[in-house]
Amino acid sequence: PTDARNAAQARARSAPAPVTDVARLCVCDLLVAQCDTNCCCDPDCSPEDFSLFTTCSVPVVTGDSHLCSQKAAVYSLDVEANPPERIFKLIDQVNPSIFCIHATNYKQALYLKSPEMPTPENFDELLSKFGSSGFSAEPESWNMDTGVPNPPDANETYRYEYGVPIQTEDAFLRLPSPVVSSWCSDANPAGFLVNQATKCIRSVSVEKCDSIPALNMLFYTNSSILAFVFQVNVSVQSIVVQSLNGMRTLLKGDDVLKLPVILDELCLNVVLGVSYHITYTDTGEITEAAAAFVLGAITKEELSVQQSFQISFTQVNTKPVPLSGNPGYVVGLPVRAGFRPKEYPFPVEFVTDKHSQLTILHSTPSQDCLAAQGARAPVLFGYNMISGCKLRITVGMQCQPVSQTLLDVLKGQSFPEYVASFGNSQAQDVLDWVPITHLHISEQRIPTTLQSSCQIPVSLGIEVNWTKYGSLANPQARIVNVTATLTTTTLRQLPSGRERIIPVTSSVVFTDISAPAEPGYKAWPTINIKLPFDFFYPFV
Amino acid sequence: RILNNISQLSSLPLQILFYVNGIYYIFYFLATLAMIIYKSQVFSYPDDFLAPDLAVLFLMAVLEVPRLYLGCKGNLREEEAPLGLSLGVTVGSMVLAVYLLAWQTYVLWADVVLSALLLSAYGLESGLKVMAIAAFVS
């Protein structure tokens, strides 16, 4: 009985027997139990199917053509018959060469070798013979089991290189991120100098919210980062508390660790976002690590919460200025702008920080200009944008305050004066900055002779002209001039009881004004022949 | 004794056949060796199949020399012992030729033709040798 079972097992494990009869071989028969089109050898096809074929994709099926005489199955379509029918002939094909194989006593000569079936006995031998780096017997990757602390190896952490996972006391600095699906996976290590921002969803419940470690601030700050010979603790840089309706407030005072607490039907101090800031030296050592938290609250009904994580790296003693391109602007990065401080005689530097960005009004769902809370969107290079709001004019509205409010809404709190012409323009290079030209168009509905009537701005259009600069093969975008056009109109007083709605728009348009490129050609090579000065000696 | 008399017992056709066989065998050996080299390049010819074929061919070449020498000597001296020995070696060579004709790893059509010719030559030779031995003995 064991023999029979072994035999059956061996039979089940071996590959199916190869088909060598030319009459039964059909390469184009791909669909099981269905007729393949133009496949004359398909046994699933009926004579009606054959009458619809145009040609035979496989006209001849033969064995090895080296044999002197072999059977060949010839399929053809007889198109003259009505309906067309398939002709199948089994003929003997003769190879006329004198070096044709008359007979062979080596059975595997004309067929492919059947591969050995792996069994528990020969698996190791097959693996060493055929397995390459793709399959290895022992996993050599690091063990991400955070329950087992990995003893730090001082020799390995002496210097970090780009992309190397940042090591901490236990395993690696975790940056939870979505893997495959949107659910958070805690096994994603943060790579050195790899700026990352991830968002993922974590399943939560109010009852167990203080036992889920990933909702706790301690989870992100308790293990210290290994750097050279000492360890760098992750300090808490700031804590922002987000209320249930989305309002965020920065917590002042000592940055005390706030642990999740269950209060009524809410769970407070749940980590909704972590932003790591790592400071490094130019030799690859980490000197400081800080984490800024966003804590929030979850209600009983919420079964999942979205967490966002970010990590950024700064070199010591530098203030990072995000470049929008190097040197030309990259589409999608914000346009850099700034102010020129009023100094006499000549200013040395422009002031450019995040408060002097070129921004455009951001449309709100309420669409009310006067209730706009100052939401602004940065102007990104290459992205034409248009936004707006609606102004409701009622009786008794004074023109002057409305005009001032609308100007604030359109231009923002600090509208910059200069725009950087290149994505990497430094603040010290005064000539690299382009002034913003302001135009004023006033729509006159009623032609009045008095120009002093109050006008309210209804549209701000920023037109950015840019050109391609540099080599033909790698053109860089360079901003040439920026024009901000403000269109104003008169505010007509309405009869009582009526109100009017005026749309107010702001837009940004990027126009490519580059001249067509002219390729430059190399000069023709010149033949430089000079005779030596005493060539005609002794005559000269 | 007068030459070309019935008292001459040496067989002339056998002698002619020995010469022809010798020349033909050189051609046969070179052609078969070249074809084995060709087969090993074009087809899959593992080493443990190539070795017996080459061994048979070289063995046949080694046997051919004493075979022809003994045959010539026996025929010219009208001695039946060397001729009988040559006949025995011929039977061995015939077996090897049959191997090259039918039991080689790859038998090409040219192999078949050459081996068939060689076998027919051997067969004719054997017949003539038997007749010569009979003439010498009696």
Spatial separation of the C-alpha atoms in residues A510 and A461, rounded to whole Å: 11
How far separated are the first and last CA of chain A, in Å rounded?
A: 117
Contacts of A111 in chain B (CB under 8 A): none
Cβ B107–A97 below 8 Å, yes or no?
A: no
B37 lies in some domain: no
Contacts of A105 in chain B (CB under 8 A): 103-105, 107
Q: Per-residue pLDDT for A136 more than 70?
A: no
Residue A23 to chain B, least CA–CA distance (Å): 25
Can you read off the two tokens belonging to residue A344?
Answer: 């006499």
The interface residues of chain A toward chain B in range 67-126, judged by CB-CB distance below 8 A, are 68, 97-106, 108-109
Q: Which residues are CB-neighbours of B14 under 8 A, at least 6 positions away?
A: B71, B75, B125, B128, B129, B132
Q: Per-residue pLDDT for B135 more than 60?
A: yes
Contact present, A421 and A432 (Cβ < 8 Å): yes
Compute the average pLDDT of residues A183-211.
Answer: 86
B57 lies in some domain: yes
Spatial separation of the C-alpha atoms in residues A173 and A191, rounded to whole Å: 9
Cβ B111–A102 below 8 Å, yes or no?
A: yes
Q: Per-residue pLDDT for A14 more than 70?
A: no
Is the Cβ of A362 closer than 8 Å to some Cβ of chain B?
no
Q: Which domain holds residue B97?
A: 47-137
Residue A68 to chain B, least CA–CA distance (Å): 7
For A47-76, the pLDDT digits (tens) are 888 888 888 888 888 888 888 888 899 998
Compute the average pLDDT of residues A32-46.
Answer: 87
CA Rg, chain A, in Å? 39
Can you read off the two tokens belonging to residue A278?
Answer: 């790592």
Contact present, A274 and A291 (Cβ < 8 Å): yes
The reported pLDDT for the residue numbered A66 is: 85
The reported pLDDT for the residue numbered A386 is: 93
Phi-psi bin for B50: left (phi > 0), alpha (psi -120 to 50), beta? alpha
Q: Per-residue pLDDT for B44 more than 80?
A: yes
- Listed residue (B106, B128, B107) closest to B116, CA to CA: B107
For A283-324, the pLDDT digits (tens) are 888 888 888 888 888 888 888 889 999 998 888 887 777 778
Compute the average pLDDT of residues A409-423.
Answer: 87
B13 lies in some domain: no
Q: Per-residue pLDDT for A345 more than 50?
A: no
Spatial separation of the C-alpha atoms in residues A478 and A420, rounded to whole Å: 9
Phi-psi bin for B137: left (phi > 0), alpha (psi -120 to 50), beta? alpha
Cβ A103–B109 below 8 Å, yes or no?
A: no
Ramachandran angles phi, psi of A355, nearest 5° = -90, -5
Among the ranges given (A4-8, A156-160, A261-265, A481-485), the one the predictor scored with the smallest mean pLDDT: A4-8
Cβ A102–B107 below 8 Å, yes or no?
A: yes
Q: Per-residue pLDDT for A352 more than 70?
A: no
The reported pLDDT for the residue numbered A86 is: 85
Contact present, B56 and B92 (Cβ < 8 Å): no
The interface residues of chain B toward chain A in range 44-103, judged by CB-CB distance below 8 A, are 44, 49, 102-103
Q: Per-residue pLDDT for A450 more than 60?
A: no
Distance of CA A427 to the CA centre of its chain: 30
Q: Per-residue pLDDT for A440 more than 80?
A: yes
The reported pLDDT for the residue numbered B101 is: 93
Which of the residue ranges A95-104, A145-154, B29-38 has the most confident prediction, judged by mean pLDDT? B29-38
CA-CA-CA-CA torsion sign (A209, A211, A217, A219)? negative
SS3 content of chain A, % helix, strand, coil (to 5): 10, 35, 55
Contacts of B43 in chain A (CB under 8 A): 66, 101, 109
3-state secondary structure of A227: strand
B40 lies in some domain: no
For A70-81, the pLDDT digits (tens) are 889 999 888 887
The reported pLDDT for the residue numbered A150 is: 45
SS3 content of chain B, % helix, strand, coil (to 5): 85, 0, 15
CA-CA-CA-CA torsion sign (B7, B9, B15, B16)? positive
Higher pLDDT, A166 or A482: A482
Phi-psi bin for A470: left (phi > 0), alpha (psi -120 to 50), beta? left
B82 lies in some domain: yes
Q: From A112, which residue of chain B is nearest by alpha-carbon distance?
A: B44
Contacts of A104 in chain B (CB under 8 A): 105-107
Residue whose pair of structure tokens reads 């379509």 in the numeric block:
A77
The reported pLDDT for the residue numbered A129 is: 81
Compute the average pLDDT of residues A329-355.
Answer: 71
B133 lies in some domain: yes
Helices (H), A73-113: none
Q: Per-residue pLDDT for B37 more than 90?
A: yes
Q: Per-residue pLDDT for B1 more than 60?
A: no
Distances (CA, A) of B75 to B15, B127, B137: 7, 13, 12
- Listed residue (B62, B42, B120) closest to A99, CA to CA: B42
The reported pLDDT for the residue numbered A396 is: 73
For B74-108, the pLDDT digits (tens) are 999 988 899 999 999 999 999 999 999 999 999 99
Compute the mean pLDDT over every residue in chain A, rounded to the nearest whole number.
81
The reported pLDDT for the residue numbered A158 is: 63
Q: Give A193's pLDDT tier (boundaries 50, 70, 90).
A: confident
Q: What is the pTM of this model?
A: 0.43
HEC-encoded secondary structure of A339-365 = ECCCCCCCCCCCECCHHHCCEEECCCC
Q: Per-residue pLDDT for A484 more than 90?
A: yes
Q: Per-residue pLDDT for A267 more than 70?
A: yes
- Complex ipTM value: 0.82
**CB neighbourhood size of B101 (10 A):** 19
Number of H helices, E strands in chain B: 4, 1
Residue B103 to chain A, least CA–CA distance (Å): 6
- Listed residue (A333, A307, A306, A309) closest to A321, CA to CA: A333
Q: Give A85's pLDDT tier (boundaries 50, 70, 90).
A: confident
B129 lies in some domain: yes
Compute the average pLDDT of residues A238-264.
Answer: 81
DSSP strand pairing (A433-443 vs A475-490): parallel
Spatial separation of the C-alpha atoms in residues A302 and A204, rounded to whole Å: 7
Is the Cβ of B106 closer than 8 Å to some Cβ of chain A?
yes
Among the ranges given (A45-49, A106-110, A133-137, A173-177), the one the predictor scored with the smallest mean pLDDT: A133-137
Can you read off the two tokens belonging to residue A222?
Answer: 């308790």
Q: Per-residue pLDDT for A480 more than 80?
A: yes
Cβ B103–A105 below 8 Å, yes or no?
A: yes
Compute the average pLDDT of residues B62-70.
Answer: 95
3-state secondary structure of A107: helix
The reported pLDDT for the residue numbered A143 is: 45
B73 lies in some domain: yes
Compute the average pLDDT of residues A503-522.
Answer: 86
Residue B137 to chain A, least CA–CA distance (Å): 44
Residue B124 to chain A, least CA–CA distance (Å): 25
Structurally, chain B folds into a number of domains equal to 1
Contacts of B42 in chain A (CB under 8 A): 66
**CB neighbourhood size of A81 (10 A):** 10
The interface residues of chain B toward chain A in range 18-37, judged by CB-CB distance below 8 A, are 35
Bridge partners, A485 (sequence order): A439, A461
Contact present, B128 and B74 (Cβ < 8 Å): no
The reported pLDDT for the residue numbered B4 is: 60
Among the ranges given (A110-124, A468-482, B5-19), the one the predictor scored with the smallest mean pLDDT: A110-124
The reported pLDDT for the residue numbered B116 is: 95
